Structure 1
């Protein structure tokens, strides 16, 4: 397995990236910081299936092979295939964070030949060398998908164990994304009907992520992003398939699990840091979520 870190600097700004390559699978994470709003080209001849995740930032990209332009805000994903890959990206914010996985065509078809109907149709198009996007409606990066992405980005394993971990998480993302597209395509009467409101809901998610340790209440969130509480609650549930409180709970418990694995903080210290009323409250919530106690994580790494 190969791991490569790069920093690219140009007149437009800087781009920090890391890629992991194994068994012809390529995983990449990049953060681009721009000096201005601009555009840039991307191209590849690799005959692969591409997972694309937009984590942060607003941008549009024109996909030559599909003759389509997509106007996107951070928190989306899709799977695409084409013979050749030529795009033009226009950033609409000064920071973009993206994540991608490239699967060899034959391996992707092997994984999806007995999957759900949308994936089977997608795989059939790939085998016919058709240029295709899995879903016209881009899926939202909900809490489960975000957690897997963070586990990959912050993976501390090495060697063959890391290779096995990255492969398993890539397959897990495939499953989660496939289910997400079904949910996205089943939504007929959308509550959020304009991009400005959609951007505000993404801002709500980012605000929660930044303040997991001292989360704001609904009134504060609503004032900060400029939405009334009703639209905030309805829009968040529509976008991420969970409530604001449910999302916060997921993020806190996942962060607690990470602390238990990667730090020497006690369960009591973690519960205090993450804002739980008592260590017992934290212990009960943790066990309900994961099926085992914080003590078990620390003593069975």
Structure 2
């Protein structure tokens, strides 16, 4: 588990490993609004104060409030990865004072002391949300600059999350027909992330997830608002940027590590994505 704190806000990243699938309990007395992101893993959860239960597959987010917090969850996979932001109640109400109608209604219930969840429909973690969480996990800042950075990213994730949840539902022609297929699409994303240095072909990825190529391509775009190819390229470049900041590897070494045929090809792709060269990132992260 890793925590960051800024202006009373707590950001937490956690990776949990279990020896078996079992029931677990959690409790907190903190009077906060919770923004929860399930990054990886499947589980069912019951929020006692809110009186609701959910069956969740990795790649989801929602916002909820209760003065006290008790939950029960059953891990369906042996590894679960989560990210969360806890906003002090008064701070959250300040941020959402002039927000959209849905957030204002949510805030009004908090003011009345009601236990409330923002939506019964959990949002999917799309590429913009994933990128901001990654920026937090790999932020290079310290002291006051880090505080300012974390505050801005907390608000950005609040906006991205609520907007994603409120976005129109997929049409009736949705490629993904059930939760099993959704879990396979999320598994495809996780497999891509695990093979960034040696990318799989679409047919290999389809075989590993048990999906045909049509459902994989269109289901992936429906879920993550990105094609498989574009997602792979985005993640490779983001990982390359992390290496530039966090390691002493040369630009050429990183280019080959990421599977680029030449350093020049990597340099051009990096510049198109970030508007600067890899060497400039290393000099001025």
Into which bin does the TM-score normalised by the smaller protein fall? over 0.9
Deviations 1:77-103 (A, max 9, x none): 111112322211111111111121100
- Corresponding residue to 2:144 among 154, 157, 160: 160
Deviation, 1:156, is: 4.2
Q: State the SS of the aligned residue for 1:106.
A: helix
**Please, what TM-score do these two structures have when normalized by structure 2?**
0.93
- On the 8 A contact 1:58/1:91 being kept in 2, the answer is yes
Q: Structure 1: which 5+ residue stretches go unaligned?
A: 1-16
CA distance in 2, matches of 1:117, 1:214: 46
CA distance in 2, matches of 1:266, 1:33: 34
- Corresponding residue to 1:65 among 49, 61, 82: 49
Deviations 1:249-281 (A, max 9, x none): 110111121122222223222222212233232
CA distance in 2, matches of 1:188, 1:85: 35
The higher relative CO (CA closer than 8 Å, separation ≥ 6) is in: 2
Aligned length: 284
Deviation, 1:223, is: 0.6
Which residue of structure 1 aligns with residue 269 of structure 2?
A: 285
CA distance in 1, matches of 2:37, 2:148: 21
- On the 8 A contact 1:259/1:265 being kept in 2, the answer is yes
CA distance in 2, matches of 1:40, 1:82: 19
Does residue 74 (structure 1) correspond to residue 58 (structure 2)? The answer is yes
Which residue of structure 1 aligns with residue 160 of structure 2?
A: 176
CA RMSD of aligned residues (A): 1.8
- On the 8 A contact 1:143/1:251 being kept in 2, the answer is no
Deviation, 1:58, is: 0.9
- On the 8 A contact 1:112/1:119 being kept in 2, the answer is yes
Which residue of structure 2 aligns with residue 9 of structure 1?
A: none
Which residue of structure 2 aligns with residue 253 of structure 1?
A: 237
Deviation, 1:59, is: 0.5
Q: Structure 2: which 5+ residue stretches go unaligned?
A: none
- Corresponding residue to 1:186 among 147, 166, 169: 169
Which residue of structure 1 aligns with residue 29 of structure 2?
A: 45
Does residue 149 (structure 1) correspond to residue 130 (structure 2)? The answer is no
Deviation, 1:295, is: 2.7
